[in-house]
């Protein structure tokens, strides 16, 4: 289904009064529209300043390759498919594998390999890891930030040796000791899970790993818009109007109703749901913004390659102590090569590369060459800077978020989601569940239409 199948309004609307207006056409916005329609809301406007659907699920088509912002994998048991079952046939079934580049220059499984990071490194390393964990647990200092959280569960020695501390800095964009504990617990619960005696014991012996309980899926080869256009078409058929590429000027309130002013048009509604960045929503409502609510700006580099890439994993994380890049995704493992060439995307925190695309590319090339990766013809096909890629909690940000959401709520705006709630949501599953929790009544009753 092409983009032309989605209703895109750029001028005055014939009817400018809506039951609800949703700001943002990402997953949270689309799911919110579906929920409201199930609850009987018939006339909904979905507004986004981007030209395409999907929010930060962005793709770039270059010379026959299709690249993504970041790495995103869906599952066939995701609650997203309860709202849009039509999507399932458009996904591509995949079998992704996750690896990491270690500080020692090797490639092993992500996030922690008990065999390689601990038991495969010799008795002395095993003893030091055990002693470090014991000291961390016995001292049990107050856990105040992301570094304290990781150090408590795996010890200071393994935190450094495994490269996890270096990766945390790349992911957060700042040193881990400056990241709030609440964010660490949300994003890094797997550290605690991998540090249990049961997992450690399992790493010492051979065992049969359980197969995945669900099927892993990727977006269509054509890109995200081919996927989300299916959702939008369903919503449009039930009364939703999509206004993409529209700059929102302001939101005002009078007599219990909202006026949303766009370029050359004004629409009125009794309900506004925001899934856009909190500070953007605050500014549109004429409320004070909070400059301390910071988000990561991401650089995406797009490469094609011919030669020996030096690893077999489809997704590779950088746990080395140097190099600005944090993760790469081999899209050609999912969709096949183009004219014999592999292709992949690389993520770099913009601040770690001086907010400069050329520096980010140069650093990546130097780092993979040093680690004997991608030996052959490596071509940068394009790049992109993405602001507000995901939120970072620093300086007790959860309190400021709560205050900002309270101001929006007092104004009458319902704000939630990765951007709207300043809430790190790693998967479409979490985004869908979050929207349901905010919008569905107790008991989760839905009506059939």
DSSP string, 25-61: -SHHHHHHHHHHHHTT---EEEEESSSSSSTT--EEE
Instruction: Classify 6 as helix, strand or coil.
Output: coil
Helix (H) or strand (E) holding 259: strand 257-262
Q: What is the DSSP letter of 287?
A: P
Contact (CB, 8 A) for 93 and 215: yes
Q: Which two tokens stand for residue 164?
A: 């996890």
Q: Which two tokens stand for residue 15?
A: 């009817």
Q: Which two tokens stand for residue 139?
A: 């001292």
Q: Which two tokens stand for residue 90?
A: 């458009």
Q: What is the DSSP letter of 241?
A: E
φ and ψ at residue 51, rounded to 5 degrees: -75, -20
Location of each CATH 3.50.50.60 domain in the chain: 3-56+221-287+396-439
Contact (CB, 8 A) for 164 and 319: yes
pLDDT digits (tens), the chain, 449 positions: 334 334 433 334 444 899 999 999 999 999 999 999 999 998 999 999 999 999 888 899 999 999 998 667 899 999 999 999 999 999 999 999 999 999 999 999 998 877 777 777 778 878 888 888 888 888 767 888 888 888 888 889 988 998 999 998 998 888 889 888 877 777 766 676 665 555 555 544 544 445 557 899 999 999 998 999 999 999 999 999 999 999 999 999 999 899 999 988 899 999 999 999 999 999 999 999 998 888 889 999 999 999 999 999 999 999 999 999 999 999 999 999 999 999 999 999 999 999 999 999 999 999 999 999 999 999 999 999 988 888 888 888 889 999 999 999 999 999 999 999 998 888 899 999 999 999 998 755 454 44
Distance between CA atoms of 174 and 162, rounded to whole angstroms?
Answer: 19
The closest of 5, 4, 6, 1 to 48, measured between CA atoms, is 6
Distance between CA atoms of 425 and 428, rounded to whole angstroms?
Answer: 8
Q: Which two tokens stand for residue 184?
A: 């660490």
Distance between CA atoms of 331 and 321, rounded to whole angstroms?
Answer: 26
pLDDT digits (tens, 9 = 90+) for 269-310: 999 999 999 999 999 999 999 988 888 899 999 999 999 999
State the pTM of this model: 0.87
Q: Which residues contact 328 (CB under 8 A, 6 or more apart)?
A: 315, 316, 344, 345, 346, 347
- Owner of token pair 């520096």: 359
Angle at 230 between CA 229 and CA 231, to 5 degrees: 90
Contact (CB, 8 A) for 190 and 98: no
Q: Which homologous superfamily does the CATH classification assign to the domain defined by 3-56+221-287+396-439?
A: FAD/NAD(P)-binding domain (3.50.50.60)
Q: What is the DSSP letter of 105?
A: S
Instruction: Classify 396 as helix, strand or coil.
Output: coil
Q: What share of the chain is helix, strand, coil (3-state, %, to 5)?
A: 40, 25, 35
Q: Which two tokens stand for residue 190?
A: 């797997």
Question: How many residues are there in the chain?
Answer: 449
Q: Is 167 left (phi over 0), alpha (psi -120 to 50) or beta?
A: alpha
Strands of the sheet containing 240-244, edge to edge, are: 240-244, 44-48, 20-23, 272-274, 413-415
User: Terminal CA-to-CA distance of the chain, rounded, Å?
Assistant: 23
- Residue 336 burial by Cβ neighbours in a 10 Å radius (0-12, 13-18, 19+): exposed
DSSP string, 183-236: HHHHH-HHHHHHTSHHHHHHHTS---PPPPSS-EEE--TT-HHHHHHHHHHHHH
Q: Which residues contact 39 (CB under 8 A, 6 or more apart)?
A: 439, 440, 441, 446, 447
Question: Is there a cis peptide before residue 111, judged by omega within 30 degrees of 0?
Answer: yes
The closest of 272, 218, 268, 221 to 73, measured between CA atoms, is 218
Neighbours of 199 (CB within 10 A): 12
pLDDT digits (tens, 9 = 90+) for 123-169: 887 888 888 888 888 876 788 888 888 888 888 998 899 899 999 89
């Amino acid at each position: 289904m092409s983009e032309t199948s989605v209703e895109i309004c750029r001028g005055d609307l014939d009817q400018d009064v809506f039951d609800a207006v949703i700001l943002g056409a990402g997953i949270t916005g689309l799911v919110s529209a579906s929920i409201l329609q199930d609850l009987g809301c018939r006339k909904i406007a979905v507004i986004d300043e981007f030209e395409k659907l999907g929010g930060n699920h962005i793709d770039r088509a270059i010379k026959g390759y299709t690249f993504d912002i970041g790495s995103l994998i869906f599952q066939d048991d995701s609650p997203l498919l309860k709202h849009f079952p039509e999507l399932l046939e458009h996904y591509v079934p995949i079998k992704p594998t996750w690896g990491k580049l270690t500080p020692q220059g090797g490639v092993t499984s992500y996030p922690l390999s008990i065999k390689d990071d601990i038991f495969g490194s010799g008795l002395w390393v095993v003893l030091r890891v055990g002693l470090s964990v014991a000291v961390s647990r016995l001292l049990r200092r107050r856990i105040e930030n992301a570094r304290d959280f990781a150090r408590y569960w795996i010890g200071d020695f393994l935190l450094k040796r495994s490269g996890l501390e270096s990766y945390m800095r790349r992911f957060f964009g700042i040193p881990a000791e400056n990241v709030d504990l609440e964010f660490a617990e949300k994003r890094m619960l797997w550290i605690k899970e991998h540090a249990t005696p049961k997992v450690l014991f399992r790493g010492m012996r051979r065992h049969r790993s359980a197969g995945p309980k669900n099927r892993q899926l990727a977006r269509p080869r054509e890109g995200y818009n081919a996927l989300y256009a299916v959702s939008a078409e369903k919503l449009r058929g039930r009364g939703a109007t999509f206004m993409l590429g529209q700059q929102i000027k302001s939101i005002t309130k009078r007599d219990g109703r909202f006026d949303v002013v766009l370029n050359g048009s004004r629409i009125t509604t009794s309900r506004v749901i925001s899934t856009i960045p909190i500070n953007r929503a605050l500014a549109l409502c004429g409320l004070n913004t909070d400059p301390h609510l910071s988000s990561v700006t991401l650089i995406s580099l797009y490469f094609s390659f011919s030669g020996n890439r030096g690893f077999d994993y489809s997704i590779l994380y950088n746990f080395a102590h140097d190099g600005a890049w944090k993760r790469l995704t081999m899209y050609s493992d999912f969709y096949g090569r183009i004219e014999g060439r592999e292709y992949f995307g690389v993520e770099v925190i913009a601040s770690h590369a001086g907010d400069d695309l050329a520096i980010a590319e140069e650093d990546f090339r130097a780092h993979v060459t040093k680690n004997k990766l991608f030996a052959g013809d490596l071509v940068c096909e394009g790049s992109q800077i993405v602001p507000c890629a995901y939120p970072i909690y620093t300086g007790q940000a959860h309190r400021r978020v709560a205050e900002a959401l309270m101001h929006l709520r007092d104004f009458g705006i319902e704000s939630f989601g990765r951007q709207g709630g300043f809430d790190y949501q790693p998967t479409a599953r979490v985004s869908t569940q979050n929207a349901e929790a905010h919008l569905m009544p107790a008991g989760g009753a839905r009506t059939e239409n």
